[in-house]
Structures are given as structure tokens and as C-alpha cells.
Amino acid sequence: MDSTSASSAVAAAPGEPEVATTVTPLLSTWLWHPGPIVFVSNTCVMVLELVAGRIIAPYVGVSLYTWTSVIGIVLAGISLGNYLGGWLADRWASLRLLGAIFVVGGLSSFGILLAESVGDHLPGNWPVVLQIMALTAALFFVPSMVLGGISPVVAKLAVRDLSRTGTTLGKIYAAGTAGSILGTFATGFVLIARFGTHAIIWGVGVVLLVMGVLFVFGGGAQHQGRIGLVIALLLVAGGAGLAVEQGAWTSNCTSETNYFCIKVRQQDRGGGPMLVLILDRLVHSYTSLTDPNRLVYEYERIYAEATEYQARQRSSLSALFIGGGGYTFPRYMASKYPGSRLDVVEIDPGVTQIAYDRLGLRRDMGITSFNEDARLFMTRQPTGQYSLIVGDAFNDFSVPYHLTTLEFDNLVHRWLAPDGLYLVNLIDGPRRDFLRSYLYTLRQSFRNVYVVPGGTGWRESPRMTFVLIAGDRPLDLPALKSLDAGDHETLLADLVLSDQAVTALLSEGRTVALTDQYAPVEQMLAPVARNEEASAAPGASVK
């Protein structure tokens, strides 16, 4: 029996069955290196998985639900691909089959570039969670499934000696895992910030197509290998040219960072043109380049009244902003209260740069930025205390839970002056599960906490912004009636809830203390994402 036969046997003792040791023909081609093949395919899978969160973020946001859907759907695709790849390998295992899978994988990867067309046509009446899963599945399930079929085919071709099956498969699994690690770190730390998601998708697609063509044409005679190499080089050149023509190195983002797809758009808002800052799918700020005192959001005008309240109590102001966004309110304070100490903790340096480049922030405004996570910033020993700490880092139902906990509130308390105010805004729905727990938690750190809804119809609204004002000294409630942020309204005085209304609010349902060990914030906001209505709550008529 020659060395290239499909199967052979070793001699066995009398009465014992023969043991097969050779199960596939030896592949003698310069292309055949099982470890590197699986390494590349798994690298591509993880690149696509990491990019998935960034690709879908402009349409459905980034939250626990986003990454849960991405990981689950990609794993489902890989699982089905493993099964189908094994079925195909048992029947037609060959380099040409492997090449065909790579080609289909490359073509299906290009389909991810249709994200804008698919994302803009998601049914608006679907709950956000369902939108996330539908968009993720539409874009990433098929590429994940196709690429999941590569490893079983490689394993089938690689196993030639049953006595070394474990070693052979172990090497393949190790190479695949190493590729997954490289894809994860390279994408998260380098590729997205350096090239952007569209260019990465083009790169993955071209790599897969090139490998596919090489396997289809390069596994036979020498002249076929040369043909395959020529075609592969033409694919690289053509793919690069097409990518440039289609704007692969430019997306619909003004800037793409490791944190956000940042967009800046112009929009008319009554009193004149405004620049709109959009982070992923959410509008974060409206900025007037000509009038820094112009505030669009109601919660910003509530902030302005609270700031005026502090200005009347003190000879000078100092403020720390947790989250910069469009730097709208820091610019407002720099204009309204010149000479104030204004510090901003903004995790994304790209957001800060956009504020300087596009949103009217100037170096001479006296605003100092710290580009780091607010929790890490607050763990330092305070270098001074602030008369105002302004929290603006809670985005829709995507909330950094570590900024909601009792431990973080205690850190804020250290940085706040004895007569200082901690202002923070959040969004909740009719059930108000998050609002109640966050309010209850704040009360553990501050003697006085006030709740200011963003409108009078807050009990019936499916989504409402609330401003919470915390401090150790009680507010002079009669004095609020004279506060006006320039809109001829006294929002604080009109909207702040009475003690009775706050007590009724806390009694409406389950309330937990949010801690670093237990802060199910996104689960509390799940009903908002699903557009669920509230059940009848006691005390609903209390004002």
C-alpha cells in the first residue's frame, strides 16, 4: 500500500481487527499549512466580531444588549458553520472546497457594508432589543457561519495518522485561538482607531478572497498555482482600487474612535443654526457657535438655574463635569461666569478634539479636560473641592453602571464642597425602576436629594429625562422662584417634586441600593428599551 493511499492498516495480533492509521492523502503543496490557515480565518472572525459593535452602534447604540446580541449571534453562526463544515468535509474535503468557503466568506463579509441601508430601514415600532438582534443577525450571521466551516475542513485534511489525532487537532485549535487573540487585540487597540470600520471590512473581505482563490487554483499543477497567484494579486489591486473609489477609508462618521462613531451635523433650531453632536445613534448636544448661552435641552436649562443658585451663594464658582459631550454647558459657564474653575472629565479624547475643531471650544476659555474614565479620576485624593459637580455621562439606556453606585457617590461627595451641589441627569420610563434605585442610592451619600422631572407629563411619558440634585445643605426652595436661565421660565421652582411626591415615587415598586457588587442598571432600563408601559402605581396623583 503506497504512502498516498486514502487508508492503510497496521498488522494486528491474531483475532484482533486491523487499526487504520492513515485517513487522508498527504497534501504536498506550498499552500498547505493547517495552523496558519486556521490562524488567519479565526483572526478574521474576531475582527468581524469586534467591528460588529462599532458597525451597528450608529443605528441601535452600544449597551449590554448590543454586545450580548453580537456575541450570541456570532457564536450561533460559528456553531452552525462548524456543523455544516464538518458535513461537507466528510464528503468533499479538498483544497478547492476550502478555497470555495474562503471565497464565500469574503463575499459575505462585503455584505456587512450594507449596514447603513439595513440600519436605516429597521421598523421603528420594534423594541430596541429586537432591532439590535435583527440588525446583528442580518449583517453578521452569514459571514460567521461561513467562516465557522473552515476549521472542520482543515482538520479533516490535516488528520493523516489516527495515532496523532490529538496532537494534530490540538495544534489547529491552538493556532485558531492565537488568531482569535490577535484579532481581538489588534482590532480593539489599533485597527478601529487607525483605519475605521469600513476599511477593516474591506481588508478582511480581500484577505479572504485572496486565500480562497489561491486554494481553488493553487492546489493542483504548478501552472495552476501561478494562475491562482496572478488572480489573487489582481484581486488585491482591484479590491484596493474599488475600496478607495467607494470611500472605504471614510465612513459616514465625522470621526471614528475606539468609543464612538462621532458625527457633527448642522440643524436649524428656531433661533438659528445649531451644530448637532451625535455619538453613535444618540444626539448628545446642540451647540451655537455664535451664542454660547443658548441652551436647547430642558435639563441644561435646569442645570443653568441650579448654577445661578450657587452663583448667588458664592463669590466664585468651580465645576467638575463628568462627561464632556459637545462641551455645551462648560462653554455656557465660561461665558456666563468668567473666571470660574472648569474641569471636564471626558473618556474619549476624540470627543474633546471634535469640540475644539468643530464645536467652538477654545483653548483660552479656561476649561481643562482630563481624557480618562471618571471613576478613575475620582479615586484620586481631591486636590480641591467643587461648588458644582455635573454628571452628564448617562446615555439613553446605555449607562456606565460604575458611575451609578454607592461607592462612586461617596467619591463624588469627597470632591464636593460642603455647600456644593451634585447635578446629574438620567432617562427612565413609566416604571421608573432605575430612577427609584438611583435616588435611593444617592440618599445614602447625601443628606438632601431633589428630583426634577423634565416636564409636567412625566408620569405618562414613555421616556423622560430627570435631573437629580444632591447635596448636604437643603435648597432654599422659595429662592428658586426667582431663577431664570434666560428662557423666561422658572423650571426648578415649577418642576421640583415635593417630599410627599418623592416618598410616593420610592414606594411605587422595587428599590435596591446600587453597589459595585450589584448594579443591574441595564436590566432596570430594559422595559424602556422594550417600550413597556407601567402598571398602576400607588401615589400616582401626588404632585
Could you please report the per-residue DSSP string of 9-73? EE---TTS--EEEE-S----STT--HHHHHHHHHHHHHHHHHHHHHHHHHHH--SHHHHHHHHHH
Distance CA 497, CA 500 (A): 8
- The pLDDT of residue 473 is 95
| Residue 18 belongs to some domain of the structure | no
pLDDT of amino acid 367:
95
Q: CB atoms < 10 A from the CB of 196, how many? A: 21
Number of C-beta neighbours around residue 373 at 10 A: 16
Of 348, 460, 430, 446, which Cα lies nearest the Cα of 395? 348
Q: Determine the pLDDT at residue 383.
A: 84
pLDDT band at 232 (very low <50, low <70, confident <90, very high): low
Domain boundary among 218, 245, 272: 245
At 421, is the pLDDT very low, low, confident or very high (cuts 50, 70, 90)? very high
Q: What is the pLDDT of residue 18?
A: 45
386 found inside a domain: yes
CA gap 148, 146 in Å, rounded: 5
Q: Are residues 520 and 394 in the same domain?
A: yes
Closest CA to 499 of 454, 463, 444, 539: 539
- Assess whether 50 and 177 both reside in one domain: yes
Q: Do residue 309 and residue 379 come from a single domain?
A: yes
280 phi and psi angles, rounded to 5 deg: 55, -115
Q: Please say whether the dihedral angle defined by the alpha carbons of residues 410, 415, 419 and 421, taken in this order, is positive or negative.
A: negative
Mean pLDDT on 124-153: 90
CB 147 within 8 A of CB 23: no
Q: How many residues does the chain have?
A: 543
Is 499:408 a contact under the CB 8 Å cutoff?
Answer: no
CA 336/CA 38 separation, integer angstroms:
61
CATH number at residue 128: 1.20.1250
pLDDT value for 250: 56
Percent of the chain topping pLDDT 70: 85
The last residue of one of the domains, among 179, 211, 245, is: 245
pLDDT at 17: 46
Q: How far apart are CA 87 and CA 75, in angstroms?
A: 18
Give me the pLDDT at residue 329, please.
95
Q: Does some domain include residue 270?
A: no
Query: Residue 251's pLDDT is what?
Result: 64
Which residues, 6+ apart, have CB-to-CB distance to 229 below 8 Å? 214, 218
E strand or H helix at 278, and its extent? Answer: strand 273-279
Residue 197 pLDDT level (bands cut at 50, 70, 90): confident
Q: How confident is the model at residue 229 (pLDDT cuts 50, 70, 90)?
A: low
The answer to whether residues 230 and 353 belong to one domain is no
Q: How far is CA 82 from CA 75, 87, 146, 177, 180, in A?
A: 10, 9, 9, 15, 16
Residues 32 and 139 in one domain: yes
pLDDT of residue 540: 34
The residue whose grid cell reads 448661552 is 293
Same domain, 82 and 212: yes
Region 379-396 average pLDDT: 89
Is there a domain that residue 541 lies in?
no
Report percent pLDDT > 90 for the chain: 53
Is 366 in a helix, a strand, or coil? coil
73 and 204 both lie in a single domain = yes
Please, which pLDDT band fits residue 219 given cuts at 50, 70 and 90? Answer: low
- Range with the poorest average pLDDT among 7-16, 49-58, 89-98, 312-321: 7-16
Q: Are residues 201 and 306 in the same domain?
A: no
Range in 89-103, 260-274, 373-387 with the lowest mean pLDDT:
260-274
User: Quick check: 402 and 375 in contact, CB under 8 A?
Assistant: yes
Largest separation between any pair of C-alpha atoms in the chain: 105
**CA distances from residue 453 to 46, 181, 466, 483 in whole angstroms, order as listed:** 43, 46, 4, 17
Instruction: Please compute the mean of the pLDDT values over residues 285-305 and round it to a whole number.
Output: 92
What pLDDT score does 217 carry?
A: 76
Residue 538 lies in a domain: no
Please compute the mean of the pLDDT values over residues 178-183 and round it to a whole number.
95
Measured between alpha carbons, how far is 403 from 389 in angstroms, rounded to an integer? Answer: 13
Q: End of a domain among 211, 245, 279?
A: 245
Spatial separation of the C-alpha atoms in residues 433 and 510, rounded to whole Å: 7
Res 14 pLDDT > 90: no
Q: What is the pLDDT at residue 538?
A: 32
Residues 327 and 439 reside in one and the same domain: yes
- Cα torsion for 312, 314, 316, 318, to the nearest 10°? -100
Residue-wise pLDDT for 235-291, tens only, equals 666 655 655 555 545 567 888 888 888 889 998 877 788 999 988 878 889 999 999
Place of cell 405618562: 460
Give residue 6's pLDDT: 39
**Confidence tier at 22 by pLDDT (50, 70, 90):** very low
* Domains contained in the chain, number: 2
Distance, CA of 446 to CA of 58 (rounded, Å):
37
157 and 129 in contact (C-beta within 8 Å)? Answer: no
Instruction: Note whether residue 51 is domain-resident.
Output: yes
For residue 143, give its domain range: 24-245
For residue 397, pLDDT over 90 is answered with no
Domain presence at residue 98: yes
For residue 365, which phi and psi values (nearest 5 degrees)?
-85, -10
Mean pLDDT, range 188-193, rounded to an integer? 85
Average of pLDDT values for 133-146? 94
Residue 253 is assigned to a structural domain of this protein:
no
The verdict on 296 and 236 lying in the same domain is: no
Predicted local distance difference test score (pLDDT) of residue 227: 63
pTM: 0.78
Reading phi first (left if > 0) and then psi (alpha if -120 to 50, else beta), residue 194 is in: alpha
Residue type, 206: V
My answer on whether 138 and 197 are in the same domain is yes
CATH code (residue 372): 3.40.50.150
The CA-based dihedral angle spanning residues 318, 322, 324, 329, taken in that order and rounded to the nearest 10 degrees: -40
The predicted model gives 48-60 an average pLDDT of: 86
Judged against a pLDDT cut of 90, whether residue 453 lies above it is answered with yes
Residue 245: predicted pLDDT: 57
Cα-based distances in Å from 194 to 188, 198, 200, 346: 10, 11, 10, 20
Examine the domain organization and report whether 229 and 358 are in the same domain.
Answer: no
* pLDDT at res. 228: 58
> What is the chain's mean pLDDT, rounded?
84
Q: What number is the average pLDDT over the span 37-49?
A: 95
Tens digit of pLDDT for each residue in 28-37?
A: 566 788 999 9
Q: Which residues 6+ apart lie within 8 Å of 322 measured at CB?
A: 345, 374, 389, 390, 391, 392, 393, 403, 424
